[in-house]
Structure 1
Amino acid sequence: MSATQILISLSGQIGLLLYGIHMVTTGVRRALGSRLTRVLHIGLQNRGCALLTGIGVTALLQSSTATAMMVTAFTAGGVVDLMPGLAVMLGANIGTTLIVQLVSFDITGIFPALFLAGCLAYRSGRTSAVRDAGSALIGLGLILLALHLLIATMEPLEQSQALSDLLRSVTADPLLTMLLAAGLAWAAHSSVAAMLFIMSLAGTGVIAPEAALTMVLGANLGSAFNPLISSLGDDPVRMQLPLGNLINRLVGCALALPFLGPLSEAMLSLDASPAHAAANFHVAFNVGMGLIFIALLPQMAHWLENLFPARAAARDPGAPRYLDEAAVSIPSVALANAGRETLRMADVIDQMLRASQQAFHEDDHEKIAATRKMDDILDRLFAAIQNYLGLIGREPLGDADARRLSDTLALAINLEHIGDIIDRSLMDNAAKRIRSGIELPEDARRQIDDMHTRLLDHLQLAVAVFMSGDVEAAHRLVVEKEGFRELERATTQRHVIHMRGGRRERIDASSMQLDIMRDLKRIESHIAATAYGLLELSGDLRSSRLQPRA
């Protein structure tokens, strides 16, 4: 085989390895969906739990970059503190070593079984979670197949004197060797892929054991640049966590580089296989850095927060705060961001409803105008959320994530419609009342106040349904909607009585009361719509209000 053929084969096999890692990461992330984010969030309670959570999540995802993006989104959004986020990254660095340890043993013969199991799950699975798990198994099989092919391709290279001389000259300088491996890990976006390639080189004797350990340091260093580069932007707080992780790697490389000779001998004394020695050093390096830095995290977090302070909150109330485009590649995190932004819309609706309630008690045109302007805030937030959800939906989603995207969009649409009703109808009636000098009767004002109060209560119920899937709150929303229909019917009957009475001022006041109540009923319908998806999922929603015909 010529040198060109070998190079092409190695490139293709490394590409297969990277695609297998991508399939494992994507399959696990889709299979677990928002549960992965929830587990990660729960685990960020203290340093110890956060470190263990980072190990577990990254072992599943096989990507410390994916874990870093998820935790960065939490810390940048203020959901969790920086210190436990840094602890997760210490755990994530350890988690990436587990798959390397697994494949350091001769288990390449099981990849046909993984392909078979994965294909059966993917083709026969009744739920998207099972199909996604099957995709992850196929990806794991591709990783093992790629490793098998890499070893087979590089075995003849051991006998090549020219290649041995070239690699000996390149790896003679430890710093240059480390930088080359760092470049490889950065380009591959995966320390796992870089490590498997280094183990293949070491296992076939193409590079010396000490050079292999140097490249292990480089692989760890290079993979820390990917989260840092993806966090570059206009918000400096996003730099805190990835920079802390990079500092951890830099300090570790600086401590280990002068002692690679003794470290190489120690690793080989534990296991004579150069490939196993590289894998063991990979674990020892990350465990050691975890033990060293776990005690220093409070000071590091304080220093990073001072170096990259959080950007002042935007004064523009219509500007989105949580729609981080860097998190779009992780649907569960991006959907959480979109949900938080949608709750800002709910807060604006709360303010508009309270202002609307006052508008029928006071003759203040300025307050009416201020309430109308709040609808502009809603429109801008809705447009931003809609565009963001469109970015999330470009890739196939699991059932849970797809349902969450649909629920988020539905709530945002309903809130935007509520804003339009308040702006274009309720405030029109409030302004008309002032212009025409219409005086609503005391009982009418009490009823309007009561309906506003109930709407505010129901808005909070709708938020509870959206956030926690509270079925009881969903039931209550639908039941209360029926009460609004009865109020409208009773008000319509009273209006007919006033029409028969013939008193112009009473008819005008009654007509305005009816218009206001219809608008409030429309708002109630949009709020109650939040419950339909959950009730349909639980089997508590009828498909139609019509009675079946005989």
Structure 2
Amino acid sequence: SGSGRALIGLGLMLISLELLDQGTAPLREAPQMSAFLGMLDAAWPVALIFAAGIAAVCSSSLAAVLLVLSLDVPAALAVVLVLGANIGGAIPPVLVTQRAGVAARRLTVGNLIVRGAGCLAVLPFAGSAAEALAPLHVTGLAVEAHLAFNLAVAAVIWPFAGGLSRIVALMLPDEAPSEDPSPRWLDDAALETPPLALAGASRQALAIGDDVARMLEQTRLAFRKNDLAPLAEVTKLEDRVDLRQQQVKTYLSRLGRDADEDDRRRSITILDYVINLEHVGDIIEKGLAAGVRKKVGLGLRFSDAGYQELDAMFLMTEETLGIAQTIFMTRDRNLARQMMEQKVEIRNFERQSAQRHLIRLREGHSQSRETSSLHLDFLRDLKRINAHLGAVAHPILDEEGLLTESRLRGG
């Protein structure tokens, strides 16, 4: 059972302490050791590094603490050595998890940061800490200092755990999946059979659309949480969208001579769609993501009404992208009409949000004044994205005779 294992572990620890005490007796009694410990007592930073090295080599802070417990050293020096042991014990996990997933590496790096910061903060007050712990003396100063230090660090860092996790996430961003430079759906062998080649190019275009959707989703997440970490993936996906778009264009330019007029028309539709997706990716990376970086970097906050309007615009844009993907795949006439109607709705929403923002400015809202240009930039970029996505409906409605030069016919 768990209790039995705990008791066995406690017994083994006590045995190891006794063996350590016996094994280090000649070392402790050597005059050279007394001189060395005297030098360490006069140089606490060196003592800290020395203890950290021992703990790192032993891959255990507890082993180093037990060694300190067996030494006859001044109380303040014992506390310093225990602090060093805590730093050193956090180093091996960082080294061991270098090839592990990002979540494991964040955990070990965060632990090292917390312990390192705690040790450096306590080091100047080691003497005072030793005096405060002196009345306890139940198991030995080294063990008590080790326990007190870890309890204090846990209590202090608890309220700041969220901020620390964000800092570590910035240091170690999420890893993008390994990317195969060759496009998945563009088969050179299918080029002599245009329907097969166009089917592959269409599937690749949908994959590009999925990447753009992920970019938009991560940008909105960064906007909502005031957190730059999701934007690391946006930059990587933008590079992939650019590459895939160029690959589709090159692939379709090599379409076989057997392609008829319908095949060529479909090829142009695919090209138009991937080009529009590439433009959307550029707007997300160079417009929206840049705006979020500015918002976070300058510590800007939107008014509640302004934030709700922009978040609603983000949601409408995500919905538009989903509709665009479906229209491209199915060429559904009703969805194409819905797309054009939503385009008008988004244009009206953008205009009304801009007007409401100007009203808030006139009423003297400080948050609206600070974020004025950013608010309007977000609206403009989201409107441009919707315009590019809405273009997927034009060929379908045009074929049905439902478009004039610039408007959807009634009916």
TM-score by length of 2: 0.54
Instruction: Map 1:50-129 to 2 at 5 A.
Output: none
Q: Which residue of 2 aligns with 1:226?
A: none
Q: Tell me if 1:400 matches 2:262.
A: yes
Q: Which residue of 1 aligns with 2:191?
A: 328
Given candidates 314, 327, 337, the residue that maps to 1:452 is 314
Q: What letter is aligned with 2:283?
A: I
Q: CA deviation at 1:460?
A: 2.1
Q: CA deviation at 1:501?
A: 4.2
Given candidates 324, 328, 336, the residue that maps to 1:474 is 336
Instruction: Map 1:361-380 to 2 at 5 A.
Output: 361-380=224-243
CA distance in 2, matches of 1:414, 1:403: 17
| CA deviations over 1:426-472 (Å, ceiling 9, x no partner) | 01100000111111122222222222222222222212211121000
**Unmatched 5+ residue regions in structure 2?**
1-176
Q: What letter is aligned with 2:288?
A: L
CA distance in 2, matches of 1:502, 1:318: 52
Given that 1:498 and 1:510 are in contact with CA atoms closer than 8 Å, whether structure 2 keeps it comes out as: no
How many residues were matched structurally?
Answer: 233
CA distance in 2, matches of 1:431, 1:411: 28
| CA deviations over 1:188-218 (Å, ceiling 9, x no partner) | xxxxxxxxxxxxxxxxxxxxxxxxxxxxxxx
| CA deviations over 1:256-312 (Å, ceiling 9, x no partner) | xxxxxxxxxxxxxxxxxxxxxxxxxxxxxxxxxxxxxxxxxxxxxxxxxxxxxxxxx
Q: What letter is aligned with 1:464?
A: T
Given that 2:302 and 2:367 are in contact with CA atoms closer than 8 Å, whether structure 1 keeps it comes out as: no
Q: Which residue of 2 aligns with 1:337?
A: 200
Q: For residues 317 and 439 of structure 1, do their structure 2 counterparts lie closer, same or farther at Cα, with a shift above 3 Å needed?
A: farther
CA distance in 2, matches of 1:396, 1:373: 37
Q: CA deviation at 1:398?
A: 1.6
Q: Which residue of 1 aligns with 2:221?
A: 358
Given that 1:318 and 1:378 are in contact with CA atoms closer than 8 Å, whether structure 2 keeps it comes out as: no
Q: Which residue of 1 aligns with 2:298?
A: 436
Given that 2:222 and 2:229 are in contact with CA atoms closer than 8 Å, whether structure 1 keeps it comes out as: no
Q: Which has the higher contact order (CA 8 A, sep 6+)?
A: 1
CA distance in 2, matches of 1:482, 1:447: 17
Q: For residues 377 and 383 of structure 1, do their structure 2 counterparts lie closer, same or farther at Cα, with a shift above 3 Å needed?
A: same
Q: For residues 517 and 320 of structure 1, do their structure 2 counterparts lie closer, same or farther at Cα, with a shift above 3 Å needed?
A: same
The residue matched to 1:535 in structure 2 has which SS? helix
TM-score by length of 1: 0.40
Given that 1:415 and 1:526 are in contact with CA atoms closer than 8 Å, whether structure 2 keeps it comes out as: yes
Given that 1:426 and 1:519 are in contact with CA atoms closer than 8 Å, whether structure 2 keeps it comes out as: yes
Q: CA deviation at 1:396?
A: 6.0
Given that 2:231 and 2:289 are in contact with CA atoms closer than 8 Å, whether structure 1 keeps it comes out as: yes
| CA deviations over 1:111-153 (Å, ceiling 9, x no partner) | xxxxxxxxxxxxxxxxxxxxxxxxxxxxxxxxxxxxxxxxxxx
Deviates more, 1:480-489 or 1:363-372: 363-372
| CA deviations over 1:68-120 (Å, ceiling 9, x no partner) | xxxxxxxxxxxxxxxxxxxxxxxxxxxxxxxxxxxxxxxxxxxxxxxxxxxxx
Q: Which residue of 2 aligns with 1:244?
A: none
Q: For residues 318 and 358 of structure 1, do their structure 2 counterparts lie closer, same or farther at Cα, with a shift above 3 Å needed?
A: farther
**Unmatched 5+ residue regions in structure 1?**
1-313
Given candidates 273, 285, 298, the residue that maps to 1:423 is 285
Q: What letter is aligned with 1:363?
A: N
Instruction: Map 1:168-317 to 2 at 5 A.
Output: 315-316=178-179
| CA deviations over 1:20-54 (Å, ceiling 9, x no partner) | xxxxxxxxxxxxxxxxxxxxxxxxxxxxxxxxxxx
| CA deviations over 1:137-189 (Å, ceiling 9, x no partner) | xxxxxxxxxxxxxxxxxxxxxxxxxxxxxxxxxxxxxxxxxxxxxxxxxxxxx
Q: Tell me if 1:516 matches 2:382.
A: no
Q: For residues 460 and 361 of structure 1, do their structure 2 counterparts lie closer, same or farther at Cα, with a shift above 3 Å needed?
A: closer
Q: Which residue of 2 aligns with 1:413?
A: 275
Given that 1:382 and 1:413 are in contact with CA atoms closer than 8 Å, whether structure 2 keeps it comes out as: yes
Given candidates 456, 467, 492, the residue that maps to 2:354 is 492
Q: CA deviation at 1:317?
A: 5.7
Given that 2:215 and 2:233 are in contact with CA atoms closer than 8 Å, whether structure 1 keeps it comes out as: no
Given candidates 327, 347, 364, the residue that maps to 2:210 is 347
Q: Percent identity?
A: 34
Q: CA deviation at 1:363?
A: 2.9
Q: What letter is aligned with 1:528?
A: G
CA distance in 2, matches of 1:414, 1:356: 19
The residue matched to 1:365 in structure 2 has which SS? coil
Given that 1:360 and 1:445 are in contact with CA atoms closer than 8 Å, whether structure 2 keeps it comes out as: no
Given that 1:365 and 1:431 are in contact with CA atoms closer than 8 Å, whether structure 2 keeps it comes out as: yes
Given candidates 390, 394, 399, the residue that maps to 1:532 is 394
CA distance in 2, matches of 1:321, 1:493: 46
CA distance in 2, matches of 1:495, 1:317: 45
The residue matched to 1:525 in structure 2 has which SS? helix
The residue matched to 1:366 in structure 2 has which SS? coil
Given that 1:357 and 1:448 are in contact with CA atoms closer than 8 Å, whether structure 2 keeps it comes out as: no
Given that 1:475 and 1:531 are in contact with CA atoms closer than 8 Å, whether structure 2 keeps it comes out as: yes
Given that 2:238 and 2:281 are in contact with CA atoms closer than 8 Å, whether structure 1 keeps it comes out as: yes
Q: CA deviation at 1:487?
A: 1.4
CA distance in 1, matches of 2:185, 2:366: 52
